[in-house]
């Protein structure tokens, strides 16, 4: 987009967002947010085949003008001139690019249970370009010695190691947010946006991100973008000139009166909840440095919808992870999800609802083939199973603990419209490291990885877990998101090549690699049915099966080998007499089969 001032006007235009758009979109209407000094009273005019000016809207701030356009289906790509006039006199002209959509853009496939997701904190994964560690136009400089500071990881680093991610068996990569976070401190994580349309220059440029997505696609990897709809950073450029007080919950300023959220997520479904509690959950701020967005404002809601679609189309995304999903306004979430689904019918979004309560997660999931309603999504993060996995493996086994916890958590699948579309995980950027939570026990870690690779759902894996990265059990973000070994020149060890890794680290990495590379070619895991048997003698056995294949998974937490009682599992074993161990390639006969002590067996049955 370029803006050409005419006749030295008093007005000046510094932003038009979205910065460009595409012809041939399913939704014909487009709303441009124009920012500049004293422009609210200007009258736009357009003369472009297929483009109709529908009108304008203002907010009470003279520095904003919203221009509503309609792009007919036969509109051709080109440069749309929008003249801004004052009493008929042209004051400025916006040259607005209209681009052609990429062929097949609307038909893109989103991620699903055939995929496995690798989650990366970009600042902590790999530093591919040291020149952008600190930049002249951002506040916080790199300080690798500070656990909460910026360390220099970037898009170039992620791109450099795409072959590693593919070799490990992953088919999707989810980076924590990459948009600009120009905050004075603690800006590396990406969840305090200061510009929705700009990649943070310490990660690279918008074009770098687009090229990263393209490079990933050529390796069979899709890219899921992490988006935050609920809040912004208090360094966002809006806060210097807020479009309207009603864009934020509270009194409309980052220093004014507001309440912190009560985190009472049950209020959205509780038939007995008070209106005040429900409002406090949705309208309260996360923290005082993250102003809470009021998506009940129709201009802001449309801005956020268009921004998400812009990134999908511009970068070529295969999915969105929606942060703090339930904290946003419910009507807005329905509008947002439905609009994305209209443009990309097979696209997928996974929402974060951080709760142990499976009923709450189920509330946000929609059924197969159902239309988007109430903001419901096809996929949600399976936090209940996350907790069950970590606690079920770490705890001592009894009638109501240990493996029983894991077994009974899975029984809650009757609540979910599509349990196979839930994203399952052992850890992420907000939790302690999986290995540490499992008491630094390589055997328990091996069980957890086998579970994640064979369970129903879409597995998500946190970078570095494959080499047993550690953290305190209590939350400590800076340590959880430590630098990946080998991502920086001079590192003592290199997990990309295996140099300097300890024996347990090498074994863990190879376990992850073998299981997820195998999973990539295992339809029985992607879409097969699941049958599990209640734990006995510290052992939990379940089966994934379809009309053609079957896989048996046996987890033995006990200190003695477990002799498989064929009669008990006969309904799942059928006519099978043996199978091949996925991890070792060794063939086992079911007769007299023993599961080694403190081990897991993944067996492809005959």
From CA 105, how far away is CA 124, in angstroms rounded? 32
Token pair in block for residue 90? 């042209």
The catalytic position among 226, 329, 352, 466 is: 352
Q: What are the respective helix, strand and coil percentages of the chain, to the nearest 5?
A: 30, 25, 45
Residues with Cβ within 8 Å of 168's Cβ and at least 6 positions away in sequence, in order, are 118, 466, 512, 513, 516, 517
Please list the residues that pair with 43 across neighbouring strands. 85
The catalytic position among 129, 180, 254, 323 is: 323
Please work out, in degrees rounded to the nearest 5, the angle formed at the alpha carbon of residue 599 by the alpha carbons of 597 and 605: 110
Q: Which of 230, 199, 196 is nearest to 123 (CA)?
A: 199
Q: Does the N-terminal peptide bond of residue 516 adopt cis geometry, omega within 30 degrees of 0?
A: no
Q: Which of 31, 81, 80, 86 is nearest to 59 (CA)?
A: 31
Token pair in block for residue 442? 């390589």
| Helices and strands, number each (H, E), in the chain | 15, 27
- Judged by DSSP in three states, 353 sits in coil
Residues with Cβ within 8 Å of 272's Cβ and at least 6 positions away in sequence, in order, are none
The DSSP element (H or E) to which 423 belongs, if any, is: strand 423-425
Which segments of 489-601 does DSSP mark as H helices, in order? 503-520, 523-527, 570-573
- Give one DSSP letter per residue of 207-264, joined into a string: HHHHHHHHHHHHTT-EEEEEEE-SB--TT-GGGGS-S-GGGBSSSSSTTS---B----
Residue 571 appears among annotated catalytic residues: no
Contact predicate 450/518, CB 8 Å: no
Contact predicate 412/384, CB 8 Å: yes
Contact predicate 36/14, CB 8 Å: yes
From CA 446, how far away is CA 537, in angstroms rounded? 19
Backbone phi, psi, residue 514, to 5°: -65, -45
CA distances from 376 to 66, 112, 210, 295, 533 (A): 29, 16, 28, 17, 32
The label of the residue with tokens 């990495």 reads 509
Q: Which of 163, 142, 164 is nearest to 153 (CA)?
A: 142
Residue 277 appears among annotated catalytic residues: no
Catalytic sites, residue numbers: 323, 352
């Amino acid at each position: 987009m370029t803006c050409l001032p005419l006749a030295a006007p008093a007005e000046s235009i510094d932003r038009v967002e979205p910065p460009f758009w595409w012809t041939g979109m399913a939704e014909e209407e487009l709303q441009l947010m124009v920012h500049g000094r004293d422009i609210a009273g200007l009258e736009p005019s357009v003369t472009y085949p297929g483009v109709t000016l529908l009108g304008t809207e203002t907010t009470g701030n003279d520095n904003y003008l919203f221009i509503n356009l309609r792009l007919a289906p036969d509109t051709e790509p080109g440069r749309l001139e929008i003249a801004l006039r004052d009493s008929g006199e042209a004051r400025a002209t916006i040259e607005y690019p209209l681009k052609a959509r990429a062929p097949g853009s609307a038909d893109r496939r989103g991620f699903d249970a055939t995929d496995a997701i690798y989650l990366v904190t970009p600042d902590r994964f790999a530093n591919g370009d040291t020149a952008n560690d600190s930049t002249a136009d951002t506040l916080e400089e790199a300080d690798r010695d500070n656990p909460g500071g910026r360390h220099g990881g970037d898009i170039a680093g992620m791109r450099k190691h795409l072959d590693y991610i593919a070799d490990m068996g992953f088919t999707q990569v989810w980076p924590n947010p990459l948009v600009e976070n120009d905050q004075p401190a603690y800006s590396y994580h990406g969840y305090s946006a200061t510009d929705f349309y700009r990649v943070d220059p310490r990660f690279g440029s918008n074009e770098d991100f687009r090229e990263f997505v393209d490079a990933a696609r050529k390796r069979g990897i899709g890219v899921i973008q992490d988006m935050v709809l609920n809040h912004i950073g208090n360094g966002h450029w809006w806060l210097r000139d807020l479009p309207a007080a009603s864009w934020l919950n509270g009194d409309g300023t980052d220093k004014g009166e507001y309440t912190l959220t009560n985190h009472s997520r049950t209020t959205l479904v509780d038939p007995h909840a008070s209106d005040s509690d429900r409002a406090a959950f949705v309208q309260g701020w996360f923290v005082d440095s993250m102003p809470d967005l009021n998506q009940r404002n129709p201009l802001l809601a449309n801005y956020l919808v268009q921004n998400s679609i812009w990134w999908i189309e511009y970068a070529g995304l295969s999915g969105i992870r929606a942060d703090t999903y339930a904290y946003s306004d419910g009507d807005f979430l329905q509008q947002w999800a439905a609009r994305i689904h209209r443009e990309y019918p097979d696209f997928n979004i996974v929402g974060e609802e951080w709760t142990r309560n499976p009923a709450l997660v189920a509330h946000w999931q929609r059924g197969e083939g159902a239309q988007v309603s109430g903001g419901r999504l096809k996929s949600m993060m399976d936090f209940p199973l996350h907790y069950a996995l970590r606690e079920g493996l770490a705890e001592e086994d009894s009638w109501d603990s240990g493996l029983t916890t894991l077994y009974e958590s899975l029984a809650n699948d009757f609540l979910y419209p599509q349990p196979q579309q839930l994203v399952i995980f052992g850890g992420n950027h907000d939790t302690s490291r999986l290995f540490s939570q499992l008491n630094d026990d390589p055997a328990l870690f091996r069980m957890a990885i086998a579970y994640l690779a064979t369970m129903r759902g879409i597995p998500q894996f946190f970078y570095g877990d494959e080499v047993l990265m550690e953290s305190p059990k209590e939350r400590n973000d800076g340590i959880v998101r430590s630098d990946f070994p080998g991502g920086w020149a001079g590192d003592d060890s290199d997990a990309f090549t295996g140099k300097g890794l300890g024996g347990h680290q090498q074994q863990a990495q190879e376990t992850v690699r073998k299981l997820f590379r195998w999973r990539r070619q295992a339809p029985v895991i992607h879409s097969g049915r699941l049958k599990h048997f209640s734990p006995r003698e510290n052992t939990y056995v379940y089966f994934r099966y379809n009309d053609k294949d079957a896989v048996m998974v046996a987890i033995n937490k006990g200190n003695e080998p477990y002799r498989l009682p064929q009669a008990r599992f006969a309904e799942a074993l059928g006519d099978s007499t043996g199978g091949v161990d996925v991890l070792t390639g060794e063939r086992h006969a079911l007769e007299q089969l023993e599961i080694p002590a403190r081990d897991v067996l993944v067996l492809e049955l005959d």
